[in-house]
Chain A
């Protein structure tokens, strides 16, 4: 009996599920699981059905879950698949990834539920579940974001409060960090009140505060 399997697990360092316990504040366990899956998808040798088609299937379903297309029974489907993968002999990569996903699901069941059914990501990591905005009270009108953002994503001008027109291409941590005044922020389900177009720096605060007071009253 000649053996052919060319599994590369020994050469690939997939994150270990113990790392999830150490996930920094603000990390998303669903996103973390998806990243493990995608890495395994890139690196597996393709010779066994669990590694090849199984990991691909996980990637498709979890991608749906983080992008608003999760279906009701997706969580139980992933669980079933992962339980099988993690106990199948000879599919090291699939087995390890499946254990990671299961671990994440067990320890963060709530977050998975939120992603799948309520289309929310508490950590504001999953791109489809947050939007990028510029805090009109913090923006200093320096124009850094306007220069960095692709054409059509930001509107603004010298001394003006900048406004996000389309956040499709700017949902990156780098972009968020680029603002010297930390005015670029993420919003989840609750969207803040924002100017529709650039207005001079300093002119929003008053407007907004008055409005808010009136609403409360």
Chain B
């Protein structure tokens, strides 16, 4: 089908309107209330064109064969200008004070048409002063609204919510909610579609809701922004809401081979970012993830996850260290076609997952299963294989990854710290975990206030010991997670915060007590009797120059380049060994990054993206849920399918906004 626009023939599919056809052929016709994601309203009248000498709206006129359209004439200009002037008569004249200044569709249109605030009477709308009930996510500056109705259609037609609509007050029209209630009361689901389509500054994300530092497309989904591994969180929450646990598990697995482990111990940075947290409380993302993994009965992802991501390369890679970073890298390198051997100095694989995290926080069997999967893909793990020189090892491999973590416990250098009953926390945790005998006596004093101190304390409590924690920081400043502290104290840890160690007391080489004092008052010095002292004061890499790569004063590998390379060609390093102690999810993310780099080094394309759960088109119609904004976070762990459905259903589905996409401005059309 052919139509003629301003003398230019363009071909059109049978469904298109004149406006759609023109825009598709790169011919710009001004328009404001139209939006590609929304039904036509034909309200702004800017897209007026002439067909058969009569003015019609291009947006509501179906194109048909042989149609002859004129988009420019004096009459058309006059009509468009009047429409624009009318809309601007009630719009504030000062654009520069608006937050969307220079990012505004209305402003772009004013530029295109050369409209100035005009000869018309300025309209002072009374409805501008209807007090708007504030909410933490959506900023409404309705004096900037030109009532194009895009938001109304987004809410009503696209989302099926209908929280906002055209309202009348006397002779004035405004966009509002029923009885001018706040959005929450009106049933808003805070999906942000209305903000996304608003062509003016009337609807905006409240300040601080979305990061301004990263690309908008990314920033729209704040949980994913915070997740180091960039897991598609909103997608798996939707799947969990639908009861599709196996698919949800698959989505996590696309970015991290330790979903179950993460379901237990991830420090859930996503939840700190979660937009819903600003509304009432964040989604309990970690706990619903764990529920999904534990209720994944068909492992629909297994075949896809086992499948290689590249042909056999004939290259060999050695990974030193079998922690989350090393094993993640090993998995992806193996899938990329390389032969990977992991060297673990301990008798068990898993690194800190196994030796650093106590059983009560992360049952060993879950980690074991996830490691077994990695092995099943072909990764060889050699335990009891201590590598003390990378130089020698390198001879048999094309690339080596140093992922030994930072697992060397440190002690304070003070008198008594080398006595028999003085331990480094990580050593103690490891020994307990490996079932080795530990001789700590009855009462243990732990120095330090981080998560490791509390892990240690709670492990010892479970072994029937009395535990005191002595840490310098006070109250809120204590570095451990608030949850850890609270649970620890409930279990019986005695916490001396704001307290410094003065001296370790001993008799004949046996620790007898611990002299402490308040940090800000030395006169409070006192003695607590104890049988052993545990230092939870940080950890190091344990690397020495003899290992064969350049290291800095802190024992971290150094390199001229900023990526994961080291001073030796073909030797890479990633994870805690580079960064110092971080969280498991960061180690996994680092494992992925370094795998890409090593693959490229070995001649591959460095692409490890995979889809384990095929994506269906997302349903934009989320519908109305009564009391949605008030739904509270699940109290603790997710125990039932109903709880999982409900908790995942609290998600605002921030990613749906990505499907709406930006509107092309007139400057981007080139054919006229």
Contact = CB atoms under 8 A, between A and B. Distances in A.
Interface of A: 1-6, 38, 41-42, 44-50, 52-57, 59-61, 64, 73, 77, 80-81, 84, 87-91
A38 B172 CA distance: 11
Contacts of A73: 119
Contact of B120 (A41, A55, A57, A90): A57
13 contacts: A4-B39, A4-B41, A46-B173, A47-B43, A50-B45, A53-B86, A57-B89, A57-B120, A64-B121, A77-B120, A80-B78, A84-B82, A88-B45
Contacts of B41: 4-5, 47-48
A57 B55 contact: no
B121 A61 contact: yes
B166 A53 contact: no
A46 B166 contact: yes
A89 B57 contact: yes
Contacts of A3: 39-40, 42, 60
Considering residues A52, A59, A77, which has the most beta carbons from chain B within 10 angstroms of its beta carbon?
Answer: A52
B171 A4 contact: no
A40 to B, nearest CB: 9
Contacts of A89: 55-57, 60
A84 B86 CA distance: 12
B55 to A, nearest CB: 6
Chain B facing A: main interface SS: mixed
B409 interface: no
Nearest to A88: B45
Contact of B57 (A42, A53, A80, A90): A90
Contact of B119 (A49, A77, A87): A77
A101 B157 CA distance: 36
A1 B39 contact: yes
A48 B86 contact: no
B301 to A, nearest CB: 39
Contacts, number: 99
A38 B82 contact: no
Interface string B137-171: 00000000001010001000100000000101011
B110 interface: no
Q: Which of B17, B45, B123 has the most CB of A within 10 A?
A: B45
Interface string B79-120: 100110011011000000000000000000000000000011
A87 to B, nearest CB: 6
Contact of A52 (B42, B170, B173): B173
A53 B40 contact: no
Nearest to B32: A49
B549 interface: no
A167 to B, nearest CB: 26
Contact-residue size bin, chain B (C-beta under 8 Å from the other chain): 35 or more
A42 to B, nearest CB: 5
Given A44-B173, A46-B147, A57-B121, 13 more contacts: A1-B17, A3-B42, A4-B40, A46-B166, A53-B89, A53-B90, A55-B171, A56-B123, A61-B121, A81-B82, A88-B79, A89-B57, A90-B42
Given A3-B60, A5-B42, A90-B57, A56 B171 contact: yes
Which one of A6, A42, A53, A61 has the greatest number of beta carbons of chain B within 10 Å? A53
A38 B55 contact: no
Contacts of A47: 41, 43, 149, 166
Interface string B10-47: 00000001000000000000000000000111111100
A60 B168 CA distance: 18
B307 interface: no
A5, A46, A59: which has the most chain B beta carbons within 10 Å?
A46
A138 to B, nearest CB: 40
A57 B86 contact: yes
B434 interface: no
Contacts of A57: 86, 89, 120-121, 123
Going nearest first, the 6 A-B pairs with the smallest beta carbon separation are: A46-B173, A41-B171, A2-B39, A53-B86, A60-B121, A48-B43
B62 interface: yes
A54 B171 CA distance: 12
A88 B42 CA distance: 11
A3 B60 CA distance: 8
B90 to A, nearest CB: 7
Contacts of B79: 84, 88
A48 B90 contact: no
Interface in B451-492: none
A49 B157 contact: no
Given A42-B171, A49-B87, A59-B171, A84 B78 contact: yes
Contacts of B40: 1-4
Nearest to A1: B40
A42 B171 CA distance: 4
A49 B86 contact: yes
Contacts of B90: 53, 56
B414 to A, nearest CB: 77
B80 to A, nearest CB: 10
A120 B119 CA distance: 24
Nearest to B168: A46
